[in-house]
A and B are shown apart, each in its own frame.
Chain A
Amino acid sequence: MTCNAHFRRYGITLKPLTADMLETVRQWRNDPEIAKHMLDQTYITSDMQRSWFEKLEHDDSRRYWVIWFKEQPIGVASLVSIQGDASWAEPGMYIYPEQYRNNIVPFCAAFALNDFAFEQLQLQTLVGKIYQSNEASVRFHEKSGYVEMPQDAALEVPKVEEQGLRYYILTQNAYEAAKAPIARFIRYD
């Protein structure tokens, strides 16, 4: 699969981020409802966005997609810190339209991203950084198979010491086991 290919699963299409979607994505990202859940809540200007995107095009350790659902762009999915030895990467995702944020759609998008990570990139582990205060995110990750990273984990993940920030990990086996009871409700052809 090439870097520019679309990845379709669970009614979701992940389309690699392109220049024509940058402004839409910037506006989504700067919306307080989205920004408040980001580790870095800096306001993104057009220049910052353009500069970031130019660097992204030459960086194999980061991938960004626009999430499409029902022929509409609805959010952003990402994998960053993709390790050259495929040992781990850090996924990220947000859904912009309110009507899709709190139901099955976030699971569809996360499953598409996880499938890409485990199947296409052959990653061994996904690492999530989650604030304990974000209860919905903690529940979502645990429902998706994540467990809190053990203190003695072999993964060499650079840790940011920040109050309330926890590290979670997801292996493919744990993911597949957690996915099954939810994926049965995704009844798209």
Chain B
Amino acid sequence: MSKLQNALVGGVRTVLEHIPAAWLPGASPDHLAERRVALGTQQPRIDGPEKVRGMARFAAEVPMDELLHAAFVHSTIARGTIVELDIAAAEAAPGVGLVMTHRNAPKMKVPPSIGLTSMKAAGNHTLPIMQDAEIRWNGQVVAVILAETREQADHAASLVNVLYDAAPSRTRFEEGKANARTPHSIQMDQNRLEKGNATKKLAQAAVSIDATYSTPWESHNPIEPHAATIAWEGEKLIVHDATQMIHGTVGSLAKVFGIKDDDVFVSSPFVGGGFGAKGLWDHQILGAAAAKLTGRPVRIRLSRESMHRLVGGRTQTEQRVALGADADGKLKALLHHGYATKPRHSITDEAFSQTGRSLYACESFDVVQHYVDLDLLANSFMRAPGEAPGTFAIECAMDELAHALNMDPVELRRRNVATCDPVSGAPHSQSDMMAAYDMGAERIGWDRRSPEPRTRSEGEWLIGMGCATGTFPFLRMPGTAARITVDATGHAHVASAAHEMGMGTATVQRQHAADRLGLPLDSVSVTIGDSTLPYGALAGGSSQTASLGAAISAASDKLAEQLLRLAGNDTPLAGLKPGEVEFADGGLRKIDDPSRHETFASILGRASQAEVSVTGESKAPMEMLKFSMHSTSAVFCELRVSEVTGEIRIDRLVGAFDCGRILNAQTATSQFKGGMIMGLGMALTEETLLDERSGRIMSTSLAEYHVPVHLDVPDIDVLWTDIPDPRTPMGARGIGEIGTTGVAAAVANAVFNATGVRVRDLPITLDKLDLG
């Protein structure tokens, strides 16, 4: 991101300061924030029966005739050139249909980079894909094998012999720090933030802390491996993919192969877990290229090892946080400086430095982050990028400050909670972090916490409690479109290329559309998941519900217009303008005169029309620039640490969330819990092991990369304030990622409370707790 971007975003923000909020999206609160029938109730997932019967069809399960199975050969060096590539044995192996290398791969362009500027881009890195003999990271694909059976393909891959001329490579974080670069902007904000003289205020502060926190490379590890079933029909490319960016994949593959967007079909009705990982990586491109060369359909399913070699994860960070406060705990200075690995070819910002800018009022700020450029696989978004590592550092630091002040950590937050954006002064759209704290503290019984570390125990187990703030910004993607079709029976059908990775997308938007259109739930159906449907922005940044919600809302406005036009003059609605009617009882009625009502069926019947169909879209999210829009949470944890072994067992976890209105209590609870459990993994067990000598990932199996198991997960309590956000569709903000934030800090703070040992380096494995 560039200086130009800083100027553009800054310019728009300045203009927006002078524009009344009434002119912006979300000018008047969405009436569905309050008037809810289906929304807010607990609704089971509409795809539940399919999923529990194993009938939901995932990308690797689409049957095709004449299918070939793909296997990959990965490089074993980080940087250098292929000097010998012996594929004779592989080509001669039974069942092999193709060995594709840089020598025979078709010409392919680099896919356009995912970002805010293009709605149809999904590229995660800018490197050429199998176009030359150069090796740019350890694990890059050097050969693709296609064979009649999976077993034959895997075996043939083992027969490929590659010799490299290795070049010096940069694979060590510590060494890379010396040459780190400092970008002008991080996501939508200027990178360097200096407000007041933080260094001076820190030195003058009555109480201060200054510490460095580190977080490792982590991998999403969805249980469904990345997979695609790919076929060419002439110039048309068909991809059954596991993706959370259907149209981004369409646009990117079209560019890569030099074909029209309309000639790419991407289908992805079910995704077996994404968390940011299920985007466009090299495998779909290579699979499509290989399918083109052989003229036969191809199935790719990445092995767990290939996933680790080809799909980037949450990148390593090192963050220094220094906080200064007066004797009453009021923050005077906040310094947040740090490093994250981001290879030059990588697109994704790990924006950890955003966290400290929004949570607490403070007199001075000094915030900046630097990127360490290494010869590694591109990093990527992983559930709550930025805020997950950012809250670990900031919220551990707040706990350290509370301890230094001898103050209750909740009280410290109360004294500093921001009432508007602490940096720009922009008003919150809605924010009540302390309401979340109060709910959470009561639920876990915070008053049982001993302020003095290492004072509670049972047998060999030391007991402690900790808390931390979680946060994630509100995002709404422009362009997401929804088509609403109402038929003569009064049934409404909603369609959009939205994504289902477990969030309950169709389930919740069905509730939304029912309330929006004044229909009972069973009169509404929803179709999502392929590129023939109206444009869907990526399912990322916890934005899909708001984006799709805005699109359905916009479509419903158009629907009212259309219906009034169709209704003509021989109707109780005669003469009414769209602004004077609302949806109710299966039709339209005048807002202040419910007797003037006509049903959809009646309007369509009189007009002799089988159906009416309209499409609306999510407009430019100007509200995000005018208002400070962040969700917050209060995470509480109670745990035990063995004095003998250092093993940590979580006894209780409570998350209280201020995320606007909750749309479906059941699916929301699950999403919050899921996020928190990923936070538990981050806190205690997860680390992608990069051997810095070779730049090679060594933890390529789920036996080495430890995600939490059932026994690691306690009963989790989830609470929410349910206060509507007046600037968002349905009064809701996204909830997909915030659950992960704050958890690692709450755990680390509880470990300190239990043991008196402060672990600033994730994950908190038992070897970091020498309690002997």
A and B together in one complex? no
Residues of chain B having any CB pair with chain A under 8 Å: none
